[in-house]
Amino acid sequence: MPFFKDLRRRSKTSFKTEKSSSNGSPNGGPERTQSSSTLNSVYGPTGGPGATTPPAMLQSNMSSPNLQVSRTNGSTPPVPPRPSPIPQHQRYSGLGSSNGSLKTMLATSPYAPRLLSVSESTWVHQKILLVYGQIGDPAQQPMDGTLTVCHHQDSFPATSWPVCDSHFKALIHLTPGPNRIRLDFTSPKLASNNSQAHSSWTNLFYLPLNAAPPLQLVILLGKDSPGTFDTVPERQQREGNGLDTAIRKFKMAAYLWQAFTGEQMYRNRFGRRCFRFEEEWQRGTLSCRDADTAQMRNEAKIHIVRTEKTVQELRDLDLAQQYDKATKKGELFSIALDAVRDHFKPAPGQKQYVSVLLLDAHWDTNARTITGHAALGGGAGDIQLAIFGSHALYSYPACIEEVAPVFSDCTRTDTNFVANDCNESGSTWEAANIGIGAHLHETGHLFGCPHQESGVMLRDYVRLNRSFTCREPYSTRTKSPGLKLCLPKDECAWHRLDCLRFRYHPCFRLPTDAPYASDESVHVWTVDNGQAIATAATGVAFIEVFGEGDDICHSFIEFGESNGNGSGGLPKQVNLAEPDLRGRLPDDKRNKRLKLVLHSAAQGSHTVEDFGQLISKTSLLKLPNGQTGFRGGKLGFSQMEGSQKEEVILESALLQTKLLVQVKVYHGFAVDGIEFVYEDFTSQLFGKRGGKPGGSEFSLDTRRGEIIMGFYVRAGLWIDGIEILTSLGRRSGVFGNPLGGSGHTLIPPRGYSIAGISGSCGPWLDGFSLIITR
């Protein structure tokens, strides 16, 4: 027992070394040596405002401490032995801990892999994470080799990835909750010794976004389709071309979309956000070894949907969009839309986001065209839809292990069996780029993205391979050798405007995002001094600026937070000055027509076709008291039979002695008219006294000085419903149809008040706008 007594007498500090107390990492790991200049050289300099794809906001402390390598006096330390396996009861003990006991136990090598694109203990929201990193110092001793990713508790088979000139890219499979990942590096240039290894560990946390609407994945077939797709004989013999193979390949392509988009959102400083898939418990296919072990996993569900058309009817449409001879380009989209709507049967107000693979697309070797194929994306009411053919499906990877080999496969395309799409798919890796990337392009349309000046929404996806590999093979498209080293600056990208749309899209919502109001509208008000003011209940997110003749946006203004977390920081009101807006255009367009498209945080938009016309004298009117009034933007189309312009200037806005005490709204399934009743029993009517006899009354609390602050209007072709908003925060409730059209909150900008109402009336109100004054 004397030994234990003596042990208890020793203080805790006697166990600490001098080095650990003075030079150690605050997290208990080895001292960091990676400089910020090295990271900047990898990701490039910081992009300026409006840059297409700003680099990741990475600093030297972004990589986890346990991934760093210590050096002493510039000498290379001896390679430590491979860390012993973690006992089962300790596997979670080191996750997120600050004492560093487990990290200190795991010694590192100068060639231990370092992750540069994701930091230690990061929370992510996608099953397959794309990462980028380095081995050692590429500037001093670049080397090739192999990176092996060992997943958490062997929950997924280890995967291998090529290391090129000390750079690597890899996909990491994550399970919900904490994930402790080991990265091993091997190279013929390094001594092979089983007792030595070049390994590092990192901790990641995966939180699925089950509260966001999913992107549904559908394979569409003709009613008599055998469920096969075009391929070459060698591949048909090796992997087959049936429906099971199609499901595996389409699923893997979708996870590549997700991994690529998640990394792009992070580089654009919008956090680790991405869309999700509907998943189900099924036989796993993301690893090629799952088939041998019949491993069950929770993976993306591929819906199999059949149309009422036969395969021959689909192919006879000759719908290949990229060919001029196509005569019915939109018909296949309508067929797919009907089939998808019948399959999902969305409830009223339930929007579905669906990306469709047309399995019966076929390369017609005689006509030299792809039949039964169309590349289209967009929206139609309750369905947001993208469609694309299966003519390049043969080239897709079917599992994670095939991703790097596919994007390095130079096998020439045999046009006796498969298509060389747009003459840009001359080899297997290029066909995979076109098929996976062009389908992602159409999915971008599904999410509301138009064509852009660069990025995926142009044709940047011909470089999609560079996001997943560090070396590019010979290109038949450019007739030139590929890049020897593909760095992040060389990769395919989403345009900044696409990422801005994704940031506020419901499919990309994070748990930390505050819920948005149902009102998605943006309004523009003409005000004094030749200016305008934009207002949005959910905040103005960004503004696109177009010069005359521009179909694609080349200049934009964005607002709000830079990190993508939360919804605060967006201005509810933005001043629009003509000199500033025109200064963003090229010199030859500054004096021509200026067009603006304004976007709210709730995905609403408002287009000003001619900003000069908006702020001209046509929007002004002289009020009876000599003040200047300004007409706001009009809701409704004013196109009903017998529609006549109407305008009412409120007497209570002109005379202090005139007290507005009540508002009557005449309505049925739409709004027929609005009557303003004063204390002296006089009234002013805008529209007609139709619908409900006597109308619906809403009285103001004049003793407390209550006045009308604005209106919430439901409008489409006409005015479906209207709600009165007061200065005391009261709401009247919607009179008319509360679900008709779309919602718009009309409240004058700060410093202005309601002077009257302008619009039009046919059988009922079909135009409505406010007249405001300072």
Burial letters for 173-184: b for 16+ Cβ neighbours within 10 Å, e otherwise?
bbeeebbbbbbb
What distance in Å separates the CA atoms of residue 450 and residue 441, rounded to the nearest whole number?
10
Cβ-proximal residues to 587 (8 Å cutoff; 6+ apart), any chain: none
Report CA-CA distances (Å) from 388 to 202, 231, 439, 450, 505. 38, 17, 6, 17, 22
Query: Which residue is listed with tokens 């399934």?
Result: 669
Length of the chain: 774
Query: Which residue is listed with tokens 């990192």?
Result: 202
DSSP tag of 165: T
15 CB-contact burial (10 Å; exposed 0-12 / middle 13-18 / buried 19+): exposed
Which one, of 512, 510, 538, 534, lies nearest residue 602 by Cα? 538
Q: At what angle do helices 243-267 and 428-446 cross, to 10 degrees?
A: 70
Which run of H or of E encompasses 248? Answer: helix 243-267
DSSP tag of 32: P
What distance in Å separates the CA atoms of residue 600 and residue 744, rounded to the nearest whole number?
12
Q: How far is CA 497 from the centre of its chain?
A: 10
Active-site entry in 120, 402, 442, 544: 442
Report CA-CA distances (Å) from 297 to 159, 161, 403, 574, 749. 17, 23, 20, 49, 53
What distance in Å separates the CA atoms of residue 536 and residue 607, rounded to the nearest whole number?
13
DSSP tag of 398: S
Question: Is 442 noted as a catalytic residue in this protein?
Answer: yes
What distance in Å separates the CA atoms of residue 29 and residue 104, rounded to the nearest whole number?
6
Residue type, 681: F
Query: Which residue is listed with tokens 């900047």?
Result: 40
609: tokens are: 């076709």
What distance in Å separates the CA atoms of residue 661 and residue 677, rounded to the nearest whole number?
6
Which residue numbers are catalytic? 442
